[in-house]
Amino acid sequence: MIPSLASALMPLMRGLDAETAHGIALKALAAGLAGRDSGRDDAVLATEAFGLRFRNPIGLAAGFDKDAVAVMPLMRLGFGFVEAGTVTPRPQPGNPRPRLFRLTEDAAVINRMGFNNGGLDGYVARLRDLPAERPAVFGANIGINKDGADPERDYPALYAAVAPYADYVTVNVSSPNTPGLRDLQGEERLAAILDAIAATRAGLPRTPPLLVKIAPDLADDALGPIVQACLTRGVAGLIISNTTIARPALRSAHAKQAGGLSGAPLFAPSTEVLRKVFRIARGRLTLIGVGGIATAEQAYAKIRAGASLVQIYTGFAYAGPVLPRRIADGLAALLKRDGFTSVADAVGKDA
């Protein structure tokens, strides 16, 4: 199990500004102060997806470790996979602070970070230092700068730069905090980006699987064209979903802040989009469910709605390092309770 020190510090961290606390947490992780998970994954959790083997289907979503400064320490917390980024070609500061808000009463977060990161060069240098043998699968999440971006140029260049080191690569076209980014989810723009990446991939010696991360706010009639664009251009899967710009009934004083909402209020809408995409894709794309997962039951619900893998973020920020193991163990118990011998057997059962 994770040492109690990390969990004991969580209440103190919540007393700090959200972004300050996040920065401290990353530094503590990078320094090895969060400990490591000593639990064992039940065999029922072993998962194969887009040609990769996962010790368990529980992943950390992009956004937590934007600059890949704590990849190995995060992997040691019991995750089956860790996704770092979003990284952009050039460094950028992101939006003015404050830009990260806890909605404690709603078990939620609003962020308008704006792809703040140190840029591709530093990111790749840190990936180069990762050991070849890792305890979890690694995903690189790529995006474009706010200014001077050319998506058809930048996404292929980013993919080529991280391809030697990543197990898979995610194209982020769904953050609500970079002006115009979500427009890239449209059929024509997405197809053009994917075509450009495909042309670059054709000349690379190593081509990790390509995924696309979409928003939960898409109209139903937009989902089919997105799936079709991905299917015809070599995309292995979709991550469903990013944060939402919708505002359901919220209790927190920060409820009206601009930005993307994540956490508990995102669970139902993101799961519904997941279910719809599963029905459209009919097993031809691997789906990763993310949005509002804080318990094993919620992870299981995502799987039964069509996800082969799941990711957590806001729940992890609230619960701390104990959460990956808690979800993994609980999920194994739920799968076995219902007579499943693998995660794959449960995928889409409620779709």
**pLDDT at residue 16 above 50?**
yes
Mean pLDDT across 140-168: 98
Query: Which amino acids are annotated catalytic?
Result: 175
Write down the pLDDT at residue 11: 64
Domain ranges of the chain: 4-346
What's the rounded Cα separation, in Å, for the pair 220 and 257? 26
CATH 3.20.20.70 fits 4-346, yes or no: yes
Write down the pLDDT at residue 12: 58
pTM for the structure as a whole:
0.96
What's the rounded Cα separation, in Å, for the pair 143 and 171? 7
Alpha-carbon distance values, 19 to 62, 146, 188 (Å): 16, 21, 36
Write down the pLDDT at residue 34: 84
What are the structure tokens assigned to 329, written together? 């163990």
- Cβ(324)–Cβ(299) below 8 Å: no
Q: How many helices (H) and strands (E) does the chain have?
A: 13, 13
Write down the pLDDT at residue 1: 46
- Start-to-end CA distance of the chain, whole Å, equals 34
Q: What is the mean pLDDT of the chain?
A: 95
What's the rounded Cα separation, in Å, for the pair 158 and 176? 20
pLDDT tens for residues 290-348?
A: 999 999 999 999 999 999 999 999 999 999 999 999 999 999 999 999 999 999 999 99
Dihedral angle, C-alpha 25, 30, 31, 33, nearest 10 °? 50
Write down the pLDDT at residue 32: 86
What's the rounded Cα separation, in Å, for the pair 127 and 132? 10
pLDDT tens for residues 182-219?
A: 999 998 999 999 999 999 999 999 999 999 999 999 99
Write down the pLDDT at residue 204: 98
Mean pLDDT across 106-130: 98
**pLDDT at residue 168 above 60?**
yes
Write down the pLDDT at residue 213: 98
**pLDDT at residue 4 above 70?**
no
The strand pair at 108-111 and 100-103 is best described as antiparallel
- Cβ(57)–Cβ(25) below 8 Å: no
Mean pLDDT across 71-82: 97
**pLDDT at residue 7 above 70?**
no
Share of the chain above pLDDT 90, in %: 93
